[in-house]
């Protein structure tokens, strides 16, 4: 099974700013607002000086894909990453840590899935709470560690969106590039974190899906029924903006039941999940997954 992690992208406003900036229609504004945290990258354009200039620390953190810190699909490259994260190295040494440890530093959101057919029944038996070490790795979606989010699935999505492919070829683009195409504009919280990607009406969406509406009316279905139409991607990432602070206060250990589902990245669970997938089939690490 492919091991994927999505280089952090969740905001449309910063993406549009980068597009304007590349065409000389706007100017950098220094520190970014909370609403543009984990903002979308615009890989199709060159932004002279923004990734290396005086505002480089901010821009690299918000636009790791654009600045070459990581590709759209990325992964921690060394086993020491999680320990370095706990020691504060993501903040102390970002130029070293971000390319080597993008998942541990919160730049990547590992794609995840339940790997047992019994996950739902185990959850109803209380195993997510009673046996979290096993369940969070084997049933992360059912136990709420991972949830559906709106993520681009191709490196070229920003460029395709700029060339008008979202309207010219919506059947393909709205599924492969929902973030760049703005399909999930309504799925962003005021804090800038993306909200869960899910159908607005599960029953209606299921019926419309069987009727081929994902192909017939892709723009409507992308907003109303993204899960049914295969737009949502289950990923592991923090769900609250305060997660890093709570983790520093020791809440991952003091309040594990809450923290491991609300703040899996800050508590190191996303990194553990990413590593687990490389050995989940037969216990042997794969060179390429």
Q: In order along the chain (289 residues), what is the average pLDDT of each group of 10 residues?
A: 51 43 39 32 47 72 66 77 88 87 85 94 96 95 93 85 91 88 64 76 95 93 92 92 92 93 93 83 51
Is 122 within the bounds of a domain?
no
Is 64 within the bounds of a domain?
yes
pLDDT at 108: 82
Is 281 within the bounds of a domain?
no
User: Count of domains in the chain?
Assistant: 1
Is 21 within the bounds of a domain?
yes
Distance (Å, whole) CA 90 – CA 53: 20
SS (H, E, C) the chain: CCCCEEECCCEHHHHHHHHHHHCCCCCCCCCCCHHHCCECCCCCCCCCCCCCCCCHHHHHHHCCCCCCCCCCECCCCCCCHHHHHHCCHHHHCHHHHHHHCCCCCCCEEEECCCCCCCHHHHHHCCHHHHCHHHHHHHCCCCCCCCEEEECCCCCCHHHHHHCCHHHHCHHHHHHHCCCCCCCCCCCECCCCCECCCCCCCHHHHHHHHHCCHHHHCHHHHHHHCCCCCCCEEEECCCCCCCHHHHHHCCHHHHCHHHHHHHCCCCCCHHHHHHHHHCCCCCCCCCCCC
pLDDT at 62: 66
Is 196 within the bounds of a domain?
no
Distance (Å, whole) CA 247 – CA 209: 41
Is 103 within the bounds of a domain?
yes
Range of the domain at 44: 5-109
pLDDT at 113: 93
Q: What is the dihedral of CA 175, 181, 185, 187, to 10 degrees?
A: 30
Distance (Å, whole) CA 32 – CA 153: 25
The pLDDT tens digits of the residues spanning 156-204 come to 888 898 899 999 998 889 889 988 888 775 555 555 566 788 999 999 9
Query: Which region holds residue 159: left if phi is over 0, alpha if psi is between -120 and 50, else beta?
Result: alpha
Distance (Å, whole) CA 171 – CA 168: 9
Is 75 within the bounds of a domain?
yes
Distance (Å, whole) CA 140 – CA 222: 25
Is 36 within the bounds of a domain?
yes
**103 close to 74: Cβ distance less than 8 angstroms:** yes
- The token pair that represents 243 in the structure block: 């997660």
């Amino acid at each position: 099974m492919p091991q994927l992690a999505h280089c952090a992208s969740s905001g449309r406003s910063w993406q549009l700013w980068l597009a304007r900036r590349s065409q000389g229609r706007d100017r950098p504004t220094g520190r970014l607002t909370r609403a543009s945290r984990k903002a979308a990258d615009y890989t199709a354009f060159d932004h002279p000086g923004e990734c290396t200039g005086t505002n480089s620390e901010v821009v690299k953190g918000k636009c790791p894909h654009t600045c070459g810190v990581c590709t759209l699909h990325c992964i921690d490259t060394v086993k020491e990453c999680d320990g370095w994260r706990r020691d504060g190295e993501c903040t102390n040494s970002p130029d070293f840590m971000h390319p080597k440890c993008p998942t541990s530093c919160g730049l990547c959101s590992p794609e995840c899935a339940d790997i047992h057919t019994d996950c739902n029944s185990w959850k109803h038996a209380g195993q997510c709470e009673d046996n979290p070490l096993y369940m969070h790795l084997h049933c992360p979606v059912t136990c709420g560690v991972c949830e559906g989010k709106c993520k681009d699935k191709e490196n070229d999505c920003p460029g395709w969106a700029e060339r008008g492919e979202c309207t010219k070829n919506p059947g393909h683009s709205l599924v492969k590039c929902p973030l760049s195409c703005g399909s999930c504009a309504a799925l962003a919280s005021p804090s800038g974190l993306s909200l869960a990607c899910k159908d607005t009406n599960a029953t209606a969406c299921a019926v419309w899906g069987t009727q081929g509406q994902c192909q017939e009316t892709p723009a409507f279905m992308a907003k109303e029924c993204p899960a049914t139409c295969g737009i949502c991607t289950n990923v592991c990432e923090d769900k609250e903006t305060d997660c890093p602070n709570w983790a520093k206060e020791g809440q991952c250990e003091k309040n594990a039941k809450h923290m491991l589902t609300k703040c899996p990245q800050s508590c190191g669970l996303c990194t553990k999940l990413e590593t687990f997938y490389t050995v989940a089939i037969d216990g042997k690490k794969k060179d390429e997954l």
